[in-house]
Amino acid sequence: MKKLAIEFEKGKAPFLGGHSFACNPVGAAIGNLIIDYIKENKIVENSLKMEDVFLDKLKRLHRHEIVGNTRGMGLYLGVEFVSDKETKLPFAKEFNISKKLYEHSNKKTQGSKIFFELDQLNKT
């Protein structure tokens, strides 16, 4: 932060900050701090290490007829829900699978864990 303040104290350039997305030095400083934190704490490297662990656990979901695939990178992972496992045909929009998953997952919670039965979601 001191380096940033020193540059502004030199007065060689006008201060154009103050708007949410235009030349905001506070936002830039915070962004730099976040990048430093990510590097120092090896956040990206750790997420790549955890990828195999998480994907392995997600593979357990393949036993359910509505799970077509699990995939991702690092900890940005996803589950593909399908109406037909063989053809990978997605659910019709009218079925609103995302909303059903959300509503059903909120019924059974325990702290930071979410429980839901995939077989129950396939019932219309």
Provide the greatest CA pair distance for the chain: 68
The answer to whether residue 75 is domain-embedded is: yes
| Domain residue limits at 78 | 25-109
CATH of the domain at 47: 3.90.1150.10
User: What is the number of structural domains in the chain?
Assistant: 1
State the Cα–Cα distance between residues 38 and 41, nearest whole angstrom. 5
- The answer to whether residue 65 is domain-embedded is yes
Tens digit of pLDDT for each residue in 14-38? 666 556 666 677 888 899 999 999 9
Please state the rounded mean pLDDT for residues 111-124.
50
**C-alpha to C-alpha distance for 45 and 31, rounded to whole angstroms:** 19
d(C-alpha 49, C-alpha 43), whole Å: 10
Residue 111 pLDDT greater than 80, yes or no: no
